[in-house]
């Protein structure tokens, strides 16, 4: 009886320790994009994933060096066919080659590939019908190639859709009335039928931020978050946030075509931190500290109670992304360009004051900046032309309207542009000249919340690595600590606490 009592105590305490120091939200992943002028070394990023207990990543291509860094880690990987490859993959032989090169090759090298994304939001309204007729054939051919390679049971192909592929009709603007967009509904239904037949999930990207930033000015601010007072009524169901409403509109659209029970993965969701008046650390923190606890509770939505698999967007800021959707596009990262956390955040959804673990041993360029030369002749036209030239080749989005540097005076904005160009140009002498309008300084010119960044040193792949750009031969990774089970999410104090508890109980 005494032993049974002790065991009961131990089980209770184990549950308590697990709750305090346990892993992240179940099934939580991140999107790892690489559109950066200066990338962090992939090995550094992978270590950062491990340090933060992140066990799933979604990629936007099949980058050889990134996949090489993920080998022997156990991290689940979603590789991707890019949109420009879709047309080529309508030919079966090309799909077979793609799978052999980008999936089979890495599975043999112990990369834990679990899925293949076919394009990225190929039915986006802005693309019109560019990928309308190539997406399904590419999907079919890639899945067939996976099946032929004896990988189809483990690795599933699916299409990450933008949330604009479904809608609520104007005559009934509520989630339960969700339908697929009429101009793509036939193609989406065919894809859903194929996914169902292959036991693959439906993937959708949902962005409450865009509802607020791009939608009409009448969009209710609090509805973008999870702690506001705004609600909408849908029959007996009350929605107090746009994420639940958007997700359930998707579920309802699937129900309309007979697949309401299909697994729906959120392929991208996040909140940017710069480049727009609604994009800052405070609102991003509010969003994440709202959604993560909800995901941790496995509460789900009114039409889909229970667990929802989610990939946060994104892992790192990407200063070379297109800004056609908005200047905020380069600031979606949970971490900044150098892999450092931006604000307190707990991926387990339990502790709002916890801080993510940043990239380690990051090498920066020397502490030098480029600013407007105070001794140069003031020529407003030449200054503006030089700034435009710099911003066309570097990232100046923080200086846009609503950005963290948007309130600078004109001369300081031009200095920001000069410095951005200077940093991405590896601080070369020629990059801080502009006909004598610019000069180097060793005193940080940052002003308030506007940071004049120093870039990290450019990453140069090791040409001797079996995963370098120039090597395609398979190799077996040597056994090292990365292949051993680790407690990556628990701080060392948890282990000490657990040891003390065992001592006290027994």
Active site (catalytic) residues: 121, 268
Could you give the 3-state DSSP secondary structure of residue 74?
Answer: coil
Q: Is the dihedral of CA 180, 325, 61, 348 positive or negative?
A: negative
Distance CA(87)–CA(343), nearest Å, equals: 41
For residue 153 the two structure tokens come to 């049971």
Place of tokens 């549950």: 15
Quickly count: other Cβ atoms within 10 Å of residue 236's Cβ: 6
Nearest to 206 by CA among 255, 242, 175: 242
Which of the 8 DSSP states describes residue 121? S
Q: Residue 380 and residue 188: Cα distance in Å, rounded?
A: 53
Q: Are 399 and 406 in contact (CB under 8 A)?
A: yes
* Cβ partners under 8 Å of residue 257, min gap 6: 180, 189, 192
Q: How far apart are CA 361 and CA 322, in angstroms?
A: 29
Torsion over CA of 411, 333, 201 and 143, rounded to 10 degrees? 80
Residue 94 burial class via C-beta count within 10 angstroms: exposed 0-12, middle 13-18, buried 19 and up:
middle
113-118 and 156-158: which strand pairing? parallel
DSSP 3-state of 250: helix
CB 372 within 8 A of CB 396: no
Radius of gyration of the chain (CA): 25
Mind giving me the DSSP string for 383-405?
Answer: HHHHHHHHHHHS--GGGSTTSTT
Alpha-carbon gap, residue 243 to 265, rounded angstroms: 13
């Amino acid at each position: 009886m005494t032993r049974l009592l002790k065991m009961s105590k131990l089980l209770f305490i184990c549950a308590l320790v697990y709750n305090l120091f346990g892993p992240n939200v179940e099934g939580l992943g991140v999107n790892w994009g690489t559109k950066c002028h200066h990338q962090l070394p992939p090995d550094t990023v992978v270590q950062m994933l491990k340090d933060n207990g992140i066990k799933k990543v979604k990629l936007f291509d099949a980058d050889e060096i990134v996949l090489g860094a993920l080998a022997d880690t156990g991290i689940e990987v979603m590789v991707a066919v890019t949109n420009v490859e879709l047309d080529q993959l309508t030919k079966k032989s090309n799909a077979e080659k793609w799978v052999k090169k980008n999936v089979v090759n890495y599975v043999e090298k112990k990369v834990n590939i679990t899925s293949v994304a076919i394009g990225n939001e190929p039915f986006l309204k802005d693309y019109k019908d560019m990928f309308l007729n190539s997406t399904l054939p590419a999907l079919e051919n890639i899945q067939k190639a996976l099946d032929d390679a004896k990988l189809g049971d483990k690795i599933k192909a699916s299409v990450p859709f933008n949330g604009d592929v479904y809608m609520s009709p104007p005559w009934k603007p509520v989630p339960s009335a969700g339908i697929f967009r009429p101009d793509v509904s036939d193609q989406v239904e065919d894809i859903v039928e194929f996914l169902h037949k292959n036991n693959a999930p439906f993937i959708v990207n949902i962005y409450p931020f865009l509802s607020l930033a791009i939608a009409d000015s009448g969009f209710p601010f609090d509805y973008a978050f999870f702690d506001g007072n705004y609600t909408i009524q849908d029959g007996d169901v009350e929605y107090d946030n746009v994420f639940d409403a958007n997700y359930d509109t998707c579920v309802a659209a699937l129900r309309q075509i007979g697949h309401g029970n299909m697994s729906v993965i959120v392929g991208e969701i996040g909140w940017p931190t710069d480049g727009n008046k609604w994009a800052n650390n405070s609102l991003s923190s509010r969003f994440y500290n709202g959604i993560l606890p909800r995901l941790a509770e496995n509460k789900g939505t009114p039409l889909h109670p229970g667990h929802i698999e989610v990939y946060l967007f994104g892992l790192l800021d990407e200063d070379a992304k297109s800004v056609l959707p908005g200047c905020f596009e380069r600031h979606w990262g949970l971490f900044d360009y150098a892999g450092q956390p931006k604000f307190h955040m707990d991926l387990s959804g339990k502790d709002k004051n916890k801080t993510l673990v940043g990239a380690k041993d990051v090498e920066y360029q020397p502490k030098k900046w480029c600013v407007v030369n105070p001794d140069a002749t003031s020529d407003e036209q030449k200054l503006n032309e030089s700034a435009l030239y710099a911003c066309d080749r570097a990232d100046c989005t923080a200086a846009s309207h609503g950005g963290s540097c948007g309130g600078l005076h004109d001369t300081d904005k031009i200095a920001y542009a000069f410095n951005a160009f200077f940093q991405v140009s590896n601080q070369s002498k020629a990059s801080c000249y502009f006909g004598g309008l610019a000069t180097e300084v060793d005193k940080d010119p940052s002003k308030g919340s506007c940071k004049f960044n120093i870039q990290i040193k450019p990453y140069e792949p090791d040409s001797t690595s079996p995963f370098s750009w120039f090597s395609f031969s398979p190799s077996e990774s040597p056994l090292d600590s990365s292949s051993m089970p680790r407690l990556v999410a628990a701080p060392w104090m948890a282990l000490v606490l657990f040891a003390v508890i065992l001592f006290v109980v027994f």
